[in-house]
Amino acid sequence: MISEHTFNTAVTGWMLSGIIIFGLLFKFTAPYGKFISNKWGAMVNNRVGWIVMEAPPLLLFSFFFFWGNNSGNIVCLVLYLFWMMHYLNRDLIFPFRIKTGGKKMPAAIMSFAIIFNGFNAFFNGYFLGFFANYTVSWLLDPRFIVGAAVFISGFAINIYSDNVLFRIRKNSQDYQIPRGGIYELISCPNYFGEILEWTGFAMMSWSLAGLSFCVWTIVNLLPRAVANHKWYRKHFPDYPAKRKALVPFLL
């Protein structure tokens, strides 16, 4: 078993590494989706890539959580269910709803995502399985209640924004300007929703592991949201001028 000091040191290093590369991601946009490129070597089926790269948060997180001694702790179980709610959708539902039409993604991007998801799944699963020491009263703590509300709000935004995109692409593979709801305020509500989810999870767990995942989520998604926003403005002259990239009215 890893000591808690060693564990926290590793989590801190992981979080700091994300902060260090944050600026670099504004200059480099991962080559998938709108920015797909075949210059990264071997390609894999888009749906297969999604399923494989989103599997570690289901499998590794569950393994380390149930390997530990806290699987009977009610708070840990609730946090486990929140985590699984997101990743069951992301790994076992979302990939089968997307209209891939033979689209592919670089195997390298899939591999990087597996590593990223593996670290986050390990740190959060191991923390909940071995180090968390919540009492039932934590469920009534304002940090947990607010965090749960933020997580659920983010999850709802995520599902809503995905549904809008699915409707757009139901009869066409061409990119269009998403309309309606929160899309009238920002270009990437799916990213905004995911950031809210893991901000809420960090609050609910009130842990260094949860915070590190929140930080890495922002590190990954904020630069990509800015890149997506610029792409829409470049390709659609009539793109709404007041629409922000990620955060309504701000960014």
Could you give the CA distance from residue 228 to residue 232 in angstroms, rounded to a whole number? 6
What are the pLDDT tens digits along the chain (251 aa)? 899 999 999 999 999 999 999 988 888 777 766 777 777 778 888 889 899 999 999 999 999 999 999 999 999 999 999 999 999 999 999 888 887 667 888 898 899 999 999 999 999 999 999 999 999 999 999 999 999 999 999 999 999 999 998 888 777 767 888 998 999 999 999 999 999 999 999 999 999 999 999 999 999 999 999 999 999 999 999 999 999 999 999 98
Secondary structure (3-state) at 42: coil
> What are the tokens at 63?
């393994």
For residue 145, how far is the Cα from the chain centroid?
21
Could you give the CA distance from residue 193 to residue 187 in angstroms, rounded to a whole number? 12
Enter the pTM of the model: 0.93
Closest by CA to 74, choosing from 134, 124, 130, is 134
List pLDDT tens digits, range 76-112: 999 999 999 999 999 999 888 887 667 888 898 899 9
Could you give the CA distance from residue 165 to residue 153 in angstroms, rounded to a whole number? 19
Q: Where are the beta strands (DSSP E) in the chain?
A: 43-45, 104-106
Beta bridge partners of 49: none
By 3-state DSSP, what share of the chain in percent is helix, strand and coil, each rounded to 5?
Answer: 70, 5, 25
Secondary structure (3-state) at 244: strand
List pLDDT tens digits, range 166-175: 888 777 767 8
pLDDT at 169: 79
